[in-house]
Structure 1
């Protein structure tokens, strides 16, 4: 609802939608120093501009205060013009006419800058090791139950650290024949790859390799059962490599 203006007894009140009235104080205008004829011309110019603005549909529909200031200008300039018809200068109405006219023609305040959300906090640097080992019991190709926690960590770190393909290498100790150990290390690597696939790592992102007893972690004589050599190594590579 547009604000309503009341003039009574030479005092203007701005009536807001809540019903509260506010008196408008204005500084002394230099128009008071003009002669009556020149003053009437200046007041009439302001009055006519205010009338035009209050009839402008764009101003009427606008959400800024131009319509309010134009309406105030029209009221107070009209009062001041009325006084000049009897060669009288009414300083209060002249002051308000000039002050509201200045507000009417003031540039609207700039629109607030669009909200730009702050950049996301940088992710902490990944400190997880790219190489993980899973160990096996003697002559067993299925990892022990506690290996599940290790495999879950590999899958989680791969996602969080942005790792790419995984190379899964199976190994065996020297307690069996070369042919048997090659097959055993292959089964171990395949089982680890299958477990990681169940945890969300695509099979196409994994390369499975079997080394048998050819690359022991601890060098031993042939036939020795060495727990450190019964293992699968999982190596994470950079994405895109």
Structure 2
């Protein structure tokens, strides 16, 4: 009887760990052309005019998405990524307006917007 309980525990642990691995892989997975890590973005290496135009366009797109009823009602994480993109792009715009290119905020803006678009 004791061996039976040990086997049940081992099987249960294997199931739980495999479920955790699947959900972890889903969180870090590839989403139709979107970035997985903001460090993948090469936007900060573009000419400054292109960076400013892209960051501003991403901000407006994310802001508009947050007020779009289909994004709000979506079962996908589109709204969450729109909110994250709006936040990151807003920070990037603030830095750019102050005359500073903050590489990390520009990369996050680019990445989070790509994630938002992939779920739309």
TM-score band, normalised by shorter chain: 0.5 to 0.7
Structure possessing the higher relative contact order (Cα contacts under 8 Å, 6 or more residues apart): 2
Question: For the residues of structure 1 that align with 2:84 and 2:49, how far apart are their CA atoms?
Answer: 23
The one-character-per-residue Cα deviations of 1:126-148 (angstroms, maximum 9, x if unpaired) are xxxxxxxxxxxxxxxxxxxxxxx
Are positions 1:104 and 2:116 aligned together? yes
Higher helix share: 2
Higher strand share: 1
Are positions 1:78 and 2:90 aligned together? yes
Matches within 5 A, 1:4-15: none
Are positions 1:35 and 2:47 aligned together? yes
- Name the residue aligned to 1:89: 101
Matches within 5 A, 1:175-194: none
Are positions 1:49 and 2:61 aligned together? yes
SS in 1 for 2:82: helix
Question: For the residues of structure 2 that align with 1:58 and 1:82, how far apart are their CA atoms?
Answer: 29
Question: For the residues of structure 1 that align with 2:60 and 2:43, how far apart are their CA atoms?
Answer: 17
Question: For the residues of structure 1 that align with 2:50 and 2:39, how far apart are their CA atoms?
Answer: 20
Question: For the residues of structure 2 that align with 1:107 and 1:25, how far apart are their CA atoms?
Answer: 16
Question: For the residues of structure 2 that align with 1:79 and 1:91, how far apart are their CA atoms?
Answer: 11
- The TM-score normalised by the length of structure 2 is 0.64
Counterpart of 1:66 (choices 56, 78, 85) is 78
| Cα shift at 1:25 | 5.4
Structure 2 gap segments, 5+ residues each: 1-35
Q: Which has the larger radius of gyration?
A: 1
The one-character-per-residue Cα deviations of 1:142-200 (angstroms, maximum 9, x if unpaired) are xxxxxxxxxxxxxxxxxxxxxxxxxxxxxxxxxxxxxxxxxxxxxxxxxxxxxxxxxxx
| Cα shift at 1:82 | 0.8
Question: For the residues of structure 2 that align with 1:81 and 1:65, how far apart are their CA atoms?
Answer: 24
- The TM-score normalised by the length of structure 1 is 0.33
